Amino acid sequence: MGWGIERGLRTIGRAALDAVYPPLCILCREPVSTPDGLCPACWSELHFIDDPVCAACGLPFEIDAGEGTLCASCLSHPPLFNQARAILTYDDLSRKPVLALKHADRLDLVPAFGRWLERSGRVLLGQTDVIIPVPLHRTRLWKRRYNQAAELARVLSRLTGLPMAPTALIRCKATPSQGSMPSAEARRRNMAGAFQVPKPERPQMAGRRVLLVDDVLTTGATANACARALKRAGVSSVFVLALARVVRPLSHPI
């Protein structure tokens, strides 16, 4: 009885709030029926990633080459992480909200993005012991004031009940933005030695299965550098879940 009353009060409160502040599409700001949602036009234009994909990095394939197939990049440079998946193709439409979250204080986007991550990442989440966001260096965190990956990880932790370990991985080297790197090899060199697991955190990480959360997966250089540091600390598996991933060469910075 109490639960029914509480649910009814929440419904009434939501309706009253929507009457004063009608919910808007998180991308184009057109009216929508539910908070943190998308209008039909924006939903139809977003490119959600689905099978078939590379079994390792999650790069979408145009044709189904069979279960367990790897892309050319993963064949030539096997990733250090176990598996990666992303929700969206990083393109002209998805780029706007991703950059708004990253650089324009659009933290209102986090609840919707967190739910998308939870739905699309259920296979990886089912194999996970702890969620860790890709960290920012302290100087960049000071300038930006928040870590967008940590905000996404926090919502994901709340939705799934999985613990989040925000200090288990740190960025110990200030590096230029990966978006400014001219090639995949340059990105790998840029990330070399950039992350580490602090000694006090290592006993808690030994044998754990980690889900690494990030906003954009490009070449996988950042995810690889994180996975290297985590596995050196005794982590058994590293899975990567990203909001978006680059499929074609970028014409704009991330």
* 245 or 5: which leads in pLDDT: 245
Quote the pLDDT of residue 253. Answer: 57
- Could you tell me the two tokens for 237? 């598996």
Convert the pLDDT of each residue in 64-98 to its tens digit: 888 899 999 999 999 999 999 999 999 888 888 89
Tokens 């439409």, located at residue: 93
| Burial letters 99-128, b for 16+ CB under 10 A, else e | bbbbeeebeebbbbbbebbbebbeebbeeb
Quote the pLDDT of residue 254. Answer: 65
Q: Strands 195-196 and 170-171: what pairing? A: antiparallel
Of 17-21, 100-104, 211-215, 221-225, the range with the lowest mean pLDDT is 17-21
Q: Strands 237-245 and 209-217: what pairing? A: parallel
Quote the pLDDT of residue 17. Answer: 47
Quote the pLDDT of residue 33. Answer: 81
Of 37-46, 141-150, 156-165, the range with the lowest mean pLDDT is 37-46
Domain layout of the chain by residue ranges: 1-45, 53-245
Quote the pLDDT of residue 45. Answer: 85
Q: Is residue 131's pLDDT more than 80?
A: yes
CA 174 to chain centre: 21
Quote the pLDDT of residue 194. Answer: 83
Quote the pLDDT of residue 250. Answer: 56
Of 14-23, 109-118, 159-168, the range with the lowest mean pLDDT is 14-23
Of 6-20, 82-96, 139-153, the range with the lowest mean pLDDT is 6-20
Tokens 């892309």, located at residue: 71
Tokens 């985590």, located at residue: 230
- Domain 53-245 -> CATH class: alpha beta
Tokens 């499929």, located at residue: 247
Tokens 């920012």, located at residue: 136
In this prediction the pTM is: 0.85
Convert the pLDDT of each residue in 218-241 to its tens digit: 889 999 999 999 999 999 999 999
* 174 or 55: which leads in pLDDT: 55
Convert the pLDDT of each residue in 175-228 to its tens digit: 766 665 656 777 777 777 789 999 999 999 999 999 999 999 988 999 999 999
Of 34-38, 62-66, 130-134, 217-221, the range with the lowest mean pLDDT is 34-38
Quote the pLDDT of residue 13. Answer: 47
Pairwise CA distance, residues 82 & 106, whole Å: 31
